[in-house]
Structure 1
């Protein structure tokens, strides 16, 4: 009977199960995710080679002008050394890990989840999936609010594959796309795009893409070759006058 149970467990029937229990489901950037991984033994003893937690998000990949929905691992952690779990035994492992600075805010179609996996030799690896909400840090929220108060409307938010020069830092970027609503900006700009590159306790690093409105034949040619897009890299601090610093940087690219 024991041999039969082992055969069943090897194909996932009566195998060990995993359940991740988070202490909460909503987090702010710079927080640690904490919880307990609960492993319940199946119908026979099994060796657990590893327990790993993977932080995932969804994003859009563009291939040959087609947009494809994909998913990316933002970070991954191994929790334990190999151990034996007996039939019907319960084993709990507490965990805590920091959210990476590139984790996207769960706004629009953006999703973030933790996938827990057991690595069991010669068996189907059990998995568990838990979605979490990611809220902007107070400073990131202030940056987004300042841009809207300056005369921009948030049009859409997408997770996209990171451009080649950023892929060493992150597989994806979250792009906030704004359109101008006041006359000053509408006269010169088509849109403004923002990406958060990094967060600390009292600062954020952002990348702004200023898309200037084409003017005349020269403007049309610039737009055709993507030369109308200008980039601004800024570090913003808690005590900054955000609206003044942002507007100064944007208006310098409008000239």
Structure 2
């Protein structure tokens, strides 16, 4: 091929392209994502140094008391050794990637995607972006249903930057915020937030934030200094009476 074609390829004109093809688009947390990365050569041969797949999620973080949208790389893998793609050559490389338990469910404004990038020396690197539909595990779904059966309504779901005490475990957390509809709970609680810390087929570890309703002058002072929030760390197993276990934990913070 001519030098002219190589120069054009270096600035992205007539260069190699990449397209990631997933075997399916919907996945459950802890499932393995599989597919192939298809590379098609351009008008001239090019050296492909590396192909990277990176799992991303959007999230919200606070900067100077303002909420801004950001994105977090949750996992990245390299799927090849260096090779040369010839002009107009088509090559497929299979891959598999485990979904970590911290990946958020794609509900509300939460989005998850795989970014594919080719590392081509002295050239503009082509890339591809594929969105995933992430569903909760069976046990996580059972936990959320049990909370609603206790008398709470799911108000919103946000993916946010992990608080400082959790950042050694994860960059982001997905918060399920519930508002009480039960008269008994309404007397004591403002809201309930649940974060899934670890998930497997047989167990889930959750963090429950209980926001107690202010009662009297002492209660208002507690709210003023953010002392009205209590935390419960709880592991729920598949054979547990989930609703009863959650009720016991929540009610322990109402006494």
Name the residue aligned to 1:94: 94
Match of 1:65 in 2: 65
* Partner SS for 1:254: coil
CA offset digits 1:202-245 (Å, max 9, x no partner): 10110000000011111111111111000000110100000110
Match of 1:224 in 2: 224
Task: Find the aligned partners of 2:223 and 2:2 in 1 and give their Cα distance.
Answer: 71
Partner residue of 2:180?
A: 180
Structure-2 residue corresponding to 1:233? 233
Write the distance in 2 (CA, Å) between the matches of 1:46 and 1:167: 41
Q: How does 1:68-87 map to 2 (within 5 A)?
A: 68-87=68-87
What is the TM-score of this pair, normalised by structure 2? 0.99
For 1:136 and 1:10, the matched residues in 2 are separated by 43
Counterpart of 1:170? 170
Is there any run of 5+ residues in structure 1 with no aligned partner, and where?
A: none
Aligned length, in residue pairs: 255
Match of 2:119 in 1: 119
User: What is residue 52 of structure 1 aligned with on the other side?
Assistant: 52
For residues 84 and 248 of structure 2, the distance between their equivalents in structure 1, rounded to whole angstroms, comes to 62
Instruction: Name the counterpart of 2:208.
Output: 208
Within 5 Å, give how 1:34-49 maps onto structure 2: 34-49=34-49
1:198 is paired with a residue whose SS is strand
Partner residue of 2:26? 26
1:9-63: per-residue Cα shift (whole Å, max 9, x none)? 1111111100000000000112100000000011111111100101111111111
Per the TM alignment, residue 201 of structure 1 is displaced from its structure 2 partner at its CA by: 1.9
1:113-147 deviation digits (Å, cap 9, x = unpaired): 11100000110010000111000110000000000
- TM normalised by structure 1 equals 0.99
- Give structure 1 regions of 4+ aligned residues with deviation exceeding 6 angstroms: none
> Take 1:178 and 1:214, find their aligned partners in 2: how far apart are those partners?
18
Q: Which residue of 1 aligns with 2:109?
A: 109
RMSD: 0.7
Q: Distance in 2 between matches of 1:125 and 1:115?
A: 12
Question: Structure 1 residue 168: deviation in Å?
Answer: 2.1
Q: Give the Cα separation in 1 of the matches to 2:227 and 2:87.
A: 65
CA distance in 2 between counterparts of 1:159 and 1:100 reads 15
1:186-197 to 2 correspondence within 5 Å?
A: 186-197=186-197
